Copies of this chain bind each other. A is one copy, B any other.
Amino acid sequence: MINRLIQKIREKNAPVVVGLDPMLSYVPEKLQKAAFHEYGETLEGAAEAIWAFNKAIVDATCDLIPAVKPQAAMYEQFGVPGMAVYERTISYCQSKGLIVIGDVKRGDIGSTSEAYAIGHLGHVRVGDQEYSGFHEDFATVNPYLGSDGIRPFLKVCQQEKKGIFVLVKTSNPSSGEFQDRIVDGKPLYELVGEKVNEWGSEVMGERYSYVGAVVGATYPEQGRVLRHIMPNTMILVPGYGAQGGKGSDLVDFFDADGLGAIVNSSRGIICAYKKEAYSGYGEDHFADASRAAVIDMIRDINGALEAAK
């Protein structure tokens, strides 16, 4: 799947991923009303509104981008109907040829970690049948529990030819509270980066490993260092746009040939219609606003990569 991701990035000439992180307040009123009319002001109604919103954005952007990253939390807040739309969104994106990175940030130990890996990337056996619960192509994973939490994911990734992105240095202001603490003369995130490199060496794709890393766009200095520590690691970069990162900050997350990283924007794309720059589209054309924002984002990042050559 990592090989396919690289191929798709090349094909679309777009190292970007759209974060499908819908809050109900992002969904235009017309869509909300239609869903509530059919299902009432219920969890099912909320889930249906989000589904209609996602579908329109995917339809309007899928030819431009290699991948999407739905954020599980945004669906989980609507309980079981929310999780059903999480799965439906994943299926739909895959039917459109998109690679799906499930932003689930799961992490546990042993058989429990394996259950997460199976639920999100693998197949579960029921009698003589096999099923794949949420069937994302990649999942994000939290490293706090160490190798016992990661190895079960590696096993499933190897079986299924899928991948993970391990949290290394997250984009939020307080990420340094633990991640930046100095251990043996270097910050913890470097130590985690070294482990990512080690885990990844066991499951290599053509050029990059099945084990990627999450490094926030808001920390370009750290991105540069981690790029060197993890030479075979694909870096998923959140924090572009709404969280403050911009194209020129991101050059050092990439390899010299412009590969090796993929940049996520969520609110900046799916809420583009609420932003000054795209307000001309209006609520009725929210998906066109998202398309315009994707085009601008690709131009910004490719421009920065071009300028750095």
Identify the A interface with B (CB < 8 A): 21, 23-24, 32, 36, 41-43, 45-46, 71, 73-74, 76-80, 82-84, 87, 105-113, 115-116, 118-120, 124-129, 131-134, 142-149, 167, 170-179, 181-184, 188, 191-192, 195
**Residue of B with least CB distance to A168:** B144
Q: How far is the CA of A119 from the CA of B126 in the complex (A)?
A: 28
- The verdict on A79 contacting B131 (CB below 8 Å), with A108-B73, A146-B178 known, is yes
Q: How far is the CA of A45 from the CA of B129 in the complex (A)?
A: 11
| Other 9 A-B pairs with CB < 8 A, given A144-B170, A178-B192 | A36-B126, A41-B128, A43-B124, A43-B126, A80-B87, A110-B172, A178-B191, A181-B188, A183-B188
Cross-chain contact B80 with A24 (CB below 8 angstroms): no
A-B contact pairs, 22 of them (CB 8 A): A23-B111, A41-B129, A43-B124, A45-B126, A46-B124, A78-B124, A78-B131, A79-B87, A80-B80, A105-B108, A107-B142, A143-B144, A143-B178, A144-B179, A145-B170, A146-B172, A148-B174, A148-B175, A149-B174, A178-B192, A181-B183, A182-B184
Cross-chain contact B80 with A42 (CB below 8 angstroms): no
- A163 CB to nearest chain B CB (Å): 19
Cross-chain contact B188 with A178 (CB below 8 angstroms): yes
Q: How far is the CA of A129 from the CA of B116 in the complex (A)?
A: 32
Q: How far is the CA of A171 from the CA of B43 in the complex (A)?
A: 36
- A120 CB to nearest chain B CB (Å): 8
**Residue of B with least CB distance to A109:** B172
Set B82, B146, B195: member contacting A175, Cβ < 8 A = B146
Cross-chain contact B133 with A82 (CB below 8 angstroms): yes
Inside 8 A of A133's CB, which chain B residues have their CB? 43, 76-80, 82
Inside 8 A of A182's CB, which chain B residues have their CB? 183-184
Inside 8 A of A178's CB, which chain B residues have their CB? 143-144, 146, 188, 191-192
Inside 8 A of A175's CB, which chain B residues have their CB? 109, 145-146, 148
Cross-chain contact A106 with B73 (CB below 8 angstroms): yes
Q: How far is the CA of A18 from the CA of B84 in the complex (A)?
A: 28
Cross-chain contact A115 with B45 (CB below 8 angstroms): no
Inside 8 A of A78's CB, which chain B residues have their CB? 119, 124, 126, 131, 133
Q: How far is the CA of A131 from the CA of B175 in the complex (A)?
A: 31
Cross-chain contact A131 with B181 (CB below 8 angstroms): no
